[in-house]
Structure 1
C-alpha cells in the first residue's frame, strides 16, 4: 500500500515537473549549440567575452547586452542566438563571416562593447536557403569541414529551412533494391555526382554514370552529420520525398504500372530521358511509404518534404482536373507515410512554363492540397514575383525568394534598391500567407552582398536605407570604416549593381568565340553600366595597405570583371580589323585579347574562391582509387564546360572566371579562333564559323578528359597584382 502510494506521488511529481525539465533541457541544448558554434568560429582568446542565454518567446528574437564586461547574447533558440552573435560581429566589430571557410575571420584586437541593450525580432518565421542546382554547381565535392563551416554561416544569417538533399541516392538504392533492381541497374540509373540535381528533379537519368558505391556510402554518412548539425542549430532540414520519378527498368518488374517518359530535356539523347509513375497507380503510394520509411530511419524527419513534379518537363496532361488529381494524390501519399507531412514545392515551373501553367491550372493544382499543407517557394522574385500573378498563390503559404545566380556564373549583377522595394512590398501587401523569405541561388562565389542583404531583411523592423546599409557593409568587408572603401561601394551600389541577374551571365571571355554577338552560352555577356564606373570603384579599393580576406575577394572580383568587360572592346576591334583585312590591327588586338585573359587568370589565382585547381582537387579527393579519382575529375570538368555531350546546347552554361580555367580553356579556345580568322585573311578566304565550331567542340570535349594540374592554393599578392593591372589597363578602359 505504501509502495503504491509512493509511486503515485513520484508519478504526479514527474507530471508536474516534466514541462520544466523539458524547458531546462531545451535551454541547455540551445546554449550548448551556440557555444559550440562560437568555439568553431572565434579564436579561443576571445571566447570568454561571450555568454549565451535562452529566453522564452513565440517569435524568433535575440538580445545583446553588456554586463560586467561580458557580452550576453540571448535568444529563444540557438538559431536566434547565432543571429545575435552575427549582428554583434557585423555592427560592432566591423567583420564579415564569409560562406567559405578559407576566408579567415577578421576581429579587432579589443572587442568593442555594446553601449545599450539591443533587442531585435525576426520579421518572418521561415528563412529558406539553397536550390537543387547549388548541390551541383557549388557543393558536390564538399566534405564535412566545408559543410560544418557553411551550416554555421547559415545559422549566423538566420536560415532555419535549409534544403538538405545530400545522400538521398543511398536511400533510393535501398528502395530500388527492395523492388528487385540489381546493383548495376540502380547505380547506372543515377547520373554522375555534379549532375545529380537534375536527376533528382527528374530531368535526366544515367548521364555520366554509373555512380560509384563509395559515393553512396560517403554521402549517406555526410548527410547524417549535416542534418544533425542543422537541427542542433535550430533548423528544419528540408528532406526530399518521392515525386513520381522512377527507373525505366521498373516497368520490367511491374508491367502493368503506368510509367511514361517525361520526354526530352535540354536536347539530351533519348536514352537519358527520365520516367514518371502516375500518382494514381497503386505503386506510387507504396514507393512513397518505402522511401520515407528508409529516409526517416537514416536521417530522421522534420516533416517538411521537398517534392517537385514536372520540373521543366511536360505533364502527361494539361487538364486542370488531372493536375489537381496529381497534387492531391502526391500530398495524400505523403500524409499516408507521415501524418504530419507538409509539402514544399518550388514554383519555378509556374515561371518557366507560364504559357502552359495558366492561373486556372495553377489554382486547381494548389487548391487540391489542404490549406497550409503545401508551402511554395516563389523562386525567382528578383525577376518575376509569381505571387502577384496568382492572387497570392490562391491562399497557400509561400516564401519570397531571391535567386540571383544561374550556374555559378561569374558576373557582377543585382539591384539592392529594387530588392528592398520588392521585399518591403511583399511584407506589407503579400498577405498573411507570405510565410517567409529566402534565396534559391544556383551557385556561390558571386555577389555575396545581395544574399546577406536579403537574409538580413528577414530581421528588419521596416524599410532599410540601402545607402546606410551599404556603408556598413563596406566597413565590415574591409574591417574598419574607410572613406575610400565606402565611396567604392557607393559607386557599386548606385552605378554598377543596377540590374538584377539574368540567365546566362558571364563575361565574353567565357563565350564560344565569334566575330559578333556570342555563343549559345553565356547569353548575356553585355553590361548595363559604364565600365568606367567599375574602374573607379576598383581604384578606390586600392587605397589600402592591408586587406581582410573578404576585402581581397571584393578587390579581385571587381578587377576581373573590369578586365572581362574590356575584353568586349578588344574583340570588337579585332572584328573591325578583320572586316577591313588589316592584319597588323588583327595581330595587335588578338594579342591584347589573350593578354587580358591571362591577366585575369593571374589576378584570380590570388584567392581560393577563384581556383579551378581547388575544385578539381576536391573532386579527386572523393575517389578511393585512381579510376574513381579520374572519374570525379572528368565529372567536375564537364559541369563547368561541356555540361552534356560534345557540342551540347548547355556548353558553357556554368562558365566561371577561375584561375586555371581562364588559361587552359578560354585562352586556348580564343587563341584557336584568332589563328583561324587570321589564316582566313592571309589566304584571302572568308572565315567560316561552322568549321571553327566543330573544331571547338573537339577541343572542349578533349579538355574534359585531361588531367593537367592547376594551383589549388592562392598564389601571389592580390593587392600588388591589382595595383599593377590597374595601372596597365586604367587608361585603355577609361578611354572607352
Structure 2
C-alpha cells in the first residue's frame, strides 16, 4: 500500500509546472534558435533546424529530444520542450562535433561538413526534473551579475538540460511593498535587510541587518533583472522556482502588532543577536497566513507563476521545539499560506536541515515535517546526496518526491576537488532504492566557476538511465573536447586528476577547501589529503608538456593556471609542514628558510600567475560589484560587501575564510600578510625562547584582515603577464625539489 501511495505522489508531481509544458511550442523553438545564433553565430546557426513538438514526449511524458540529418544536410533538432531541444543541440555538439561549453569558455570548432547522424537518435530523460542552484549560489556567485552574464548562464542551463531553477532576484522589493503596506517604516525595513552579498542568509532567516541597508536603486535593478530572467527561462519551457514565506519576520512586526506570537531563535554562524536570532512567527498566529498570502499575491502579480515555490524555515537553525505537533504545524502554516494564493502550489524544500543537524532531526521529527504536506506537494532537494544522502535513511523522504542533488562546492572555494565515482553511481542507486520517489537530478553548488569536469558529468547524468560505464574513457574524451584536439599528455594529465583530486570518498569529501593557504595560520592546521600529491605534480608537468600544442586554447590556459594554482596550494602545505616541524624541533634556520619560501616567494608567485587570467582577478570581481552602483558611495558600499564575504564574512571574522578564493590581489594583500606575520611570530618565539600563543596571534592578525576589507585599493580588472611563461617558471623552480629530487 505504501508503494502505491508513493507512486501517486510522484505521479502528481510529474504534473507540477504543467503550465510551462502547455505553452507555445513556436515561442520555445524560437528561443532555442536565438540560442544557437548566440552560441555559434548566425552563419553556422543556419545549418541547424530547430522545432519543439510536445508529441515527442507522448510515450514517456518526460523531456525528449531527437537528432537527425547533417553530412551536407541541415542538422534537425527536435525537442518536446525548448529545454529538451537545447539539450539535444548540446548532445550533437558534444558527441558528434567534439565541442565543449563551460563557464570558463567554449570550444566550438565545428567540423565541415557537419557530421551526419547515422540514424535518428531519440533520447528521453529518465526523470522529470534536472534542477540547478543552491539558495547560497545567489550570493556567492550571482550577486553582482548584470543581464549579459545572466543570459550566458541561462544559455548554459538549457544546453545542459536544466528545466527547474531558482529565480529569486528582486524579492526584497516585493517584501518592502508588503511590509510598508503592513505599517512598518522604511527605516525599520532598511534595518532588517542584509547587504547584497549576504541576502541568501537573510532569505533563509539566518541573518538580518548585517551588511545593509539595501539602496533604493538595488530594488529597481533587481526587479528589472528578475523580469528578464523569468522571461528568458519561460521562453525555453524552463520552470522558475519563486520564493515563498517561510515564517521569519522583522522585529518591527511586534511594534505594529503588539499581540503577535513570535519566538526568537538562537543565533547562527557565530553572530550575536544584533545580526542573527531570527524572529519566527508562531504557526497558529493569524498574522502568519496574512503575511504569507500578502507576499505571494504581490509576488505573483508582479512576476506570474509556474506554481513551484521555495522556502526554508529551519535552515541550520534548531526549531524552538522538537515536538512533532509543533514541527507539523510550522510546516503546515507555510504550505497553507502558499495554497491560499495558488491552489496548485508545490513547495520546494532544501533537505539540508535533516543532514546538518541529525542529532535534532530524528525519524519522528522528520516524519512530522514531511507528512504535514500532502504527498506530491512537497518536492525535497537531497542537497548533498553525493556525499551524505538523506533519502536512504528517511524511507525516500516519507514518500515525498525528491531530487538527488550534487552539492560539491561550499562558499565558491577554488581548489581541485570532486567525488566523480560517487556522482556517477549515485542517481541510479537512488532510482533503484526500494519504493523510491526520486523525480530528478540536480546540481546545487554554493558557488560556481570551478571544477567544470564535475558539472559536465552531473549534467550528462541528468539524461542517462545508467552511470557512465568507463570514467577513464569519459574523462579522456572530456579533455579532447575541452581543447578541441587529442593530445596524449593532456589526456594523461586528466586521467591522473581523475584518480587523485577527483576521486574523493568518505569523510574527506566535505566540499570545502581546507588548505592552509586560505586559512588563518596556526600550528594545528591539517594538511592531510585523500590523494597522492605526486599525481597532481605529474599532471602539472604533463599539461606544461602539452602547452606548445594547446597554447592557443583559452580553456587550456585556464586549466594550466588552475593546476599551477593547485600545485602551489600543495607546496604551501609542504612548506608549512617543514616550518612547523622546524619550530617544534626549535630549529630557527630551517624555520626561517621554509617560512620565508612560503610567505615571501610562493605566495607572490601564486599572485603573479593568477593575475594572468581574468577568471582569477580580485579586480574583476570588485569591478562587477562597483558596476551595479549609481553613485561612488554605493560603489564603495558594494565593494566592501564583497570584500567582507571573501574574508571575514562578519564584522569580527564570524565565519572566517569560509568563502575563500584564490584571486590575484587577495593572495598578495590578504593571505600573504597573514603568513608573513605568522612566520615572523614563530621566529620571534624561537629566538626569545617563549611559546607561540595562538590567541595572541589571532588578536594581532585581525587588524591585517580588517584592513584588507576596509581598504579602498584598486586592483587590475585586466589580466597581466603570460600564463605559460609564469607557470613554467614556477614549475622549473619547485618541481625538481619535491618530485625529481
TM range (shorter): over 0.9
What is the match of residue 260 of structure 2? 257
* Contact 2:430/2:436, CA 8 A, preserved across alignment: no
1:679 CA displacement: 2.6
In structure 2, distance between residues paired with 1:77 and 1:672:
58
- 1:365 aligns with 369
Could you tell me how far apart the structure 2 residues matched to 1:194 and 1:430 are?
42
Q: Offset of 1:655 from its aligned partner?
A: 0.8
Shift of 1:608: 2.1
Q: Secondary structure at the match of 2:223?
A: helix
Q: Mapping of 1:524-543 within 5 angstroms?
A: 526-542=528-544, 543=546
Question: 2:107·2:484 contact (CA, 8 Å) conserved in 1?
Answer: no
What is the match of residue 670 of structure 1?
Answer: 675
CA separation of 1:111 and 1:573: change in aligned 2, threshold 3 A: farther
Secondary structure of the residue aligned to 2:280 is: strand
**One of 30, 34, 47 as aligned partner of 1:32:** 30
The answer as to 2:390 corresponding to 1:379 is no
Distance 1:209 1:259 in 2: 23
Instruction: Say yes or no: does 1:315 pair with 2:322.
Output: no
**1:446 Cα deviation from its structure 2 partner:** 2.0
Q: In the alignment, what sits opposite 2:409?
A: 405
SS in 1 for 2:65: strand
RMSD: 1.8
Q: Name the counterpart of 2:297.
A: 293
Structure 1 residues not aligned, in runs of 5+: 1-21, 519-523
Q: 1:502: which partner in 2?
A: 510
- 1:527-676 equivalences under 5 Å are 527-542=529-544, 543-545=546-548, 546-594=551-599, 595-648=601-654, 650-676=655-681
Structure 1 residue 146: Cα displacement? 0.7
Pairing of 1:70-109 with structure 2 (within 5 A):
70-99=74-103, 103-108=105-110
1:690 and 2:692 are equivalent in the alignment: no
Residue 10 of structure 1 corresponds to none
- Distance in 1 (alpha carbons) for counterparts of 2:21 and 2:571: 61
Q: Could you tell me how far apart the structure 1 residues matched to 2:326 and 2:420 are?
A: 41
For residue 568 of structure 2, give the secondary structure of its aligned residue in structure 1: helix
What displacement does 1:360 show? Answer: 1.4
When the two structures are superposed, what TM-score results if normalisation uses the length of structure 2? Answer: 0.92
Deviation at 1:475, TM superposition (A): 1.0
Instruction: Give, in angstroms, the shift of residue 420 of structure 1.
Output: 1.6
Q: 45, 48, 58: which one pairs with 1:47?
A: 45
Partner of 2:197: 194
User: Structure 1, residues 197-219: CA drift from partner, whole Å, max 9, x if none?
Assistant: 00000001101111111111111
CA contact (8 A) 1:409 1:506 kept: no
> Which stretch shows the higher mean deviation, 470-479 or 140-149?
470-479
Contact in 1 for aligned 2:396/2:436 (Cα 8 Å): no
Task: Say which of 707, 721, 726 aligns to 2:726.
Answer: 721
Counterpart among 516, 519, 524 of residue 517 in structure 1? 524
Unmatched runs of 5 consecutive residues or more in structure 2: 1-19
Are the aligned partners of 1:506 and 1:656 in contact in 2 as well (CA < 8 Å)?
Answer: no
Cα distance in 1 between the residues matched to 2:536 and 2:21: 53
- How far apart are the structure 1 equivalents of 2:323 and 2:188? 34
SS of the equivalent of 1:158 reads coil
2: CA distance, partners of 1:296 / 1:23: 19
Shift of the alpha carbon at 1:276? 0.8
Q: For 1:86-485, what aligned pairs fall within 5 Å after superposition?
A: 86-99=90-103, 103-108=105-110, 110=112, 112-116=114-118, 117-272=120-275, 273-429=277-433, 431-465=435-469, 466-485=471-490
- Alpha-carbon deviation of 1:458? 1.3
Q: Secondary structure at the match of 1:239?
A: strand
Per-residue CA deviation, residues 37-70 of structure 1 (Å, 9 max, x unaligned), is: 1121112331211111223223211122125521
- Cα pair 2:107 2:481 within 8 Å, conserved: no
d(CA) in 1 for partners of 2:371 and 2:279?
Answer: 26
Distance in 2, Cα, partners of 1:303 & 1:23: 12
Following the alignment from structure 2 to structure 1, what is the Cα–Cα distance between the partners of residues 488 and 682?
48
Per the TM alignment, residue 193 of structure 1 is displaced from its structure 2 partner at its CA by: 0.5
Given that residues 96 and 550 in structure 1 are in contact (C-alpha distance below 8 angstroms), is that contact kept between their aligned partners in structure 2?
Answer: no
C-alpha displacement at 1:703, in angstroms? 1.1
Task: Provide the aligned length of Structure 1 versus Structure 2.
Answer: 706
- For structure 1, which segment, 222-231 or 679-688, has the greater mean C-alpha deviation from structure 2 after superposition? 679-688
CA spacing shift, 1:44–1:715, aligned 2, 3 Å: farther
- For the 8 Å contact 2:97–2:115, the answer to whether it is kept is no
Q: Which moved more, 1:632-641 or 1:305-314?
A: 305-314
Cα deviation, 1:403-433, whole Å, max 9, x if unaligned, reads: 0111111222212112222222112226452
Separation in 1 of the partners of 2:122 and 2:589? 67
TM-score, length-scaled by structure 1: 0.93
Match of 1:5 in 2: none
Q: Is the 8 A contact 1:348 1:379 kept in 2?
A: yes
Structure 1 residues 37 and 584: alpha-carbon distance in aligned structure 2, compared to 1, 3 A threshold: same
Residue of structure 2 equivalent to 1:3: none
Change (3 A) 1:24 1:700: closer
Deviation at 1:238, TM superposition (A): 0.6
Assess if the C-alpha contact under 8 Å between 2:100 and 2:106 holds in 1. no
Q: Which deviations, in whole Å up to 9, do the C-alpha atoms of 1:684-712 show, x marking residues without a partner?
A: 43333222110111111121011112121
Aligned CA distance change for structure 1 residues 606 and 587 (closer, same or farther; 3 Å): same
After superposition, give the CA deviation of every residue in 1:11-38 in whole Å (9 maximum; x if it has no partner): xxxxxxxxxxx99982311210101111
2:126 is paired with a residue whose SS is coil
Moved more, 505-514 or 666-675: 505-514
Report how far residue 581 of structure 1 moved: 3.8
Distance in 1 of aligned mates of 2:279 and 2:615: 37
